[in-house]
Structure 1
Amino acid sequence: MEKISRTPFQGIGNIIRFNWHFYVLFLLLLVVGLLFTQYTLTRLMLCGAAIATLLSLLISWYIYDRSDLYTLQWLDDLELRPRHIVNIHAGFDETSHLLAHKYPEASLQVFDFYNPEMHTEVSIERARKRYAPYAGTKVISTAAVPLGPASVDMVFLLLAAHEIRDPVERATFFKELHRCLTANGRIVVLEHLRDVPNFIAYTIGFLHFFSGATWRKTFASAQLQVENEEKITPFLSAYILQKNGTAS
């Protein structure tokens, strides 16, 4: 089967493209500050901020363009042969075609839970305008996943679930996924965490992510057990969930 490839700077290019307002504003502040500020401390702080921004971009390039993230090889240890896969995203889908390639014998449904009134990231709005959705993608509500009980072998939430900012909405959503999952099914949740590595990478931007404890509380509230937690680079954590348990 033909290998699916990404361009060398596709990931970092999307980050800059979808968040260009931040980088333009920062560059303007940096230039104005260095030109018109006479205070050494202020200049040092501006230079420190510039170094932190460059470090963030470098780490993002490593995660999204140089790591095994999009090869999906980290899923090989599951050794499952799913018949019915659901991939759920928050408005920007880079993985459905990869999952279809990895599991060619499985049926694939793709759901998009993005709601512009509740999920207000401007970067997602820009991504949606630039990239067409995967064929057959259905827009859904996090409160009502349109699947029958125990009908899905694997559910993928790859870098998406953190966009559900409200804890009640998030818990309700995972209860819906529990309802849809077969007895031996799995849910794969991939996320950045609010931890030290991501603080080093993104400074205060790491507050956009949730802590490992928050995720485990969400999973437990939906009676989902963490079967395994795997690191995909020091900056990404993959939770493999199964039914009928409490988070370990």
Structure 2
Amino acid sequence: MPRAIWNGAISFGLVNIPVKLVTATQSKKVSFREIRRGDNSRIRHRKVAAADGEEVTQDEIVKGYEIGPDRYVVLDPEELRALDPQRSRAIDIEDFVDLAEIEPLQYESSYYLLPGDMGSKSYELLRRAMEETGKAGVARFTLRSRQYLAVLRPVGNALAVSTLLYDDEVIKPEQLDGLPEDVEVADRELTMASSLIESMTTEWDPSRYHDEHRQRVLELIERKAEGEDLATVPEQEREAGDVVDLMAALEASLSAAKSEGKGGGQRDTA
């Protein structure tokens, strides 16, 4: 089980629930080291000044905010530390909202909360109450000298907390260029597209989806580690193009789905 990275309490109203914060996700990406071809010597990256190429030590480095070409406002680490939020051991719930109203684009990093000493009953009470009402708690808490906006919600038998991007960090659809405008969609086309979606609908099961690229990379590493000599085959790039006949494509897709036994609604995931 992952170890706790933060100990504190959920606070709302006059209620305090002791909790421990543990990570809810783990990266499975394949990591590589940079080495020199030929002798496998590790590559080291040094910090150098662009002006003269001289290596810079850590105590010479300060933060600079660029306000123009090669013009910076310089801030010392002490000046920035003075602005850090006050250390807090509380996840302060400010509001409760409908979970469905939170835009998924705002989600950042996720953690689990475990009950602390003597906190099991109040923890379970809050979890069940949010589950019954469909509500999520909007909160703030401080982790590693940074204050986060977060959402607290039930996940199975646990409480989870996810940090959120602030509203002004999320690009709104109305800020995008190139979205369709005044496009006419025929009723028959919409009916066909809706039927195709229904035929491909199934219950959400995240275990059905795997990182196929990562698996291929790991298999390649294993084969090379065993001394197998592999020939490189260039990958065929798929070209994206406009659908020439939309209705024909919809009809063919729907027909293929029905022939596979998927035309009656939800697919069998067994």
TM over 0.5: no
| Bin for the TM-score computed over the shorter chain | under 0.3
More strand by share: 2
Give the structure with higher Rg (CA).
2
More helix by share: 1
- TM-score (norm: length of structure 1): 0.20
